Amino acid sequence: MTQPARPAPLAQRVSAARGGLVLVLLLIVLMLAVVASLGIGARSLSAAQILHLLVAPDDSTDAVVLWQLRLPRTLLGLLVGAALGLAGALMQALTRNPLADPGLLGINAGAAFAVVAGLSLVGLDDAPTRLACALLGAALAAGLVYLLGGSAPARGQPIRLILAGIALSASLNACTGIITLFDSAVFDSYRFWAVGALSGQTPGGALGILPLLLIGLALGLPLGSRLNALALGDDLGRALGARPGQLRLLAFVAIVLLCGAATAVAGPIGFLGLVVPHALRLLVGADWRWILALAPLAGANLLLLADTLGRRVALPGELEAGIVCALLGTPVLLALIIRSARRVRP
């Protein structure tokens, strides 16, 4: 016997002033983050130096560091961060689950498995193949998750969804393991990618995902108001004209494109998609239009900061962005779990 589904509280009408303020704030932080990302590292560059070298590049080591290492890395951070931030927000809106995250739900693992399988079977290690495989893997994993997340949330459902995602990740990782076991060349390139890092990409590689990202953004960003309606439950949403089936499909495609592209170039980076929507909800309130609009910006900020932190903290080596995200994201996830346990009291 099931209890009647209780709709979530109505999304608050966020004043444009508040949203605009946060937008400006995030843009300022972004500029600072970019400067930090370009400047901080084994070889430090000041803001003035950066500006000079960007405008008038020469043959100095600094210029090389800036143009060959930092710039592609920063660019990648921007794109991947934006993609994962938006994907996470879409996922949480779609599944009505505050703990949804591409890492936790196995989508990254799906992309990873497909990339490794492609590497091993096809043998080509070029960007388009990787991208295609990642998209396929992400689509399959997301499809499985979508099957589960399609119905209205019942008691205990959010945890069930996450557990299913974890179990899926685990089995996908096992399959990945089988492949890397028998192919040490694949393992060698896989293990560095599996950590989730922004290094080792050419500017072309980073820009290669741009078209997919733009499509993903174009599909996902406008869904905000319809997702607000959907947050009240399928039936109510339908009554408000939201058309849940079509909405889910669009969001699903957007998530796959965004996650697949991001994972293909940077490896599986988790927790970003989890933290961004929550942080934004604290700043602008529970209005998906604003959260989706600001998510790419917030995601880019967080990833750049994580990457820069990783470089700063582990000198002369570095801590990969994926690990920093995990280190910082876990306490957030723990806090969320504890808070949700407190709230659900009879």
Partner 1 sequence: MAADLMSQDASSSRLAAHGLTVGYGGQPICADLDVRLPDGRFTVIIGPNGCGKSTLLRSLARLIRPSAGEVRLDGRLIQDLPTREVARRIGLLPQSAVAPDDILVSDLVARGRHPHRQAFAGWTEADERAVQHALEATNTLELAERAVDSLSGGQRQRVWIALALAQETPLLLLDEPTTFLDIAHQVELMELLCRLNREGGRTLVAVLHDLNQACRYADHIIALRAGRILAEGPPAEIVTPELIEALYGLKCAVIENPLAGTPLVIPY
Partner 2 sequence: MSRHRFAPRRSARFKACLLLLLLAAIGICALTLTGGAFAPAPHRVAVTLLGRGDALASLILLDLRLPRLLAAFGVGAALGASGAIFQRLARNPLASPDLVGFTVGSASGALITLLWLQLGGAALMLGALGGGLLAAVLIAGLAALAGIRGERMIMLGIAVSALLASLNEYLLTRAELDEAQEARLWLFGSLDMLTWSRTLTLLAGCLLLLPLAAWLARRLRLLELGDDLARALGLAMLPSQNLLLAVAVALAALAIATAGPIGFVALAAPQLARRLTRSADLGILAPALLGACLTALADLLAQRLLAPFQIPVGLLTGALGGLYLIFLLSREWRRTS
Binding residues (CB under 8 A) for partner 2: these are 99, 103-104, 144, 147-148, 150-151, 154, 156, 159-160, 162-164, 166-168, 170-175, 177-178, 180-182, 184, 187-188, 191-192, 194-196, 270-271, 319-320, 322-323, 326-327, 329-330, 333-334, 337-338, 340-342
Q: Which of partner 1, partner 2, none does 162 bind, CB closer than 5 to 8 A by kind? A: partner 2
Q: Are 88 and 101 in contact (CB under 8 A)?
A: yes
**Residues with Cβ within 8 Å of residue 112, at least 6 apart in sequence:** 134, 137, 172, 173, 176, 194, 263, 267, 268
Alpha helices in 183-233 (DSSP H): 184-193, 203-208, 210-220, 224-230
> Binding pattern to partner 1, positions 313-342, x when CB under 8 A?
-----------------------------x
Smaller CB separation from partner 1, 4 or 241: 4
Q: How far is the CB of 342 from partner 1 (least distance, A)?
A: 6
Q: Which residues contact 51 (CB under 8 A, 6 or more apart)?
A: none
- Which partner from the list partner 1, partner 2, none does 144 bind, CB cut-off 5 to 8 Å by kind? partner 2
CA 281, chain centre distance (Å): 16
Percent helix, strand and coil across the chain, each rounded to 5?
75, 0, 25
Q: Judged by CB, which is closer to partner 1: 204, or 346? A: 346
* Binder of residue 29, out of partner 2, partner 1, none (CB less than 5 to 8 A by kind): none
CA-CA distance, 320 to 311, in Å (whole number)? 8
- Residues with Cβ < 8 Å from 27, sequence gap 6 or more? 297
In terms of CB distance, is 22 or 259 closer to partner 2? 259
Count of residues that bind partner 1 according to CB under 8 A: 5
Closest approach, Cβ 7 to partner 1, in A, equals 16
| 61 lies in the binding site for partner 1 (CB under 8 A) | no
> Please, which residue, 185 or 335, has the CB nearer to partner 1?
335
Give the CA angle between residues 19, 20, 21 to the nearest 5°: 90
**Binding string to partner 1 for residues 1 to 30, with x set by CB under 8 A, is what?**
x-x---------------------------
Closest CB to partner 2 among 16 and 147? 147
Query: Which residues, in sequence order, are CB contacts of 320 under 8 Å at separation 6+?
Result: 195, 196, 197, 198, 199, 310
Q: Quick one: CA torsion of 19, 22, 24, 26, rounded to 10 degrees?
A: -140
Query: Footprint of partner 1 on this chain (CB under 8 A)?
Result: 1, 3, 342, 345-346
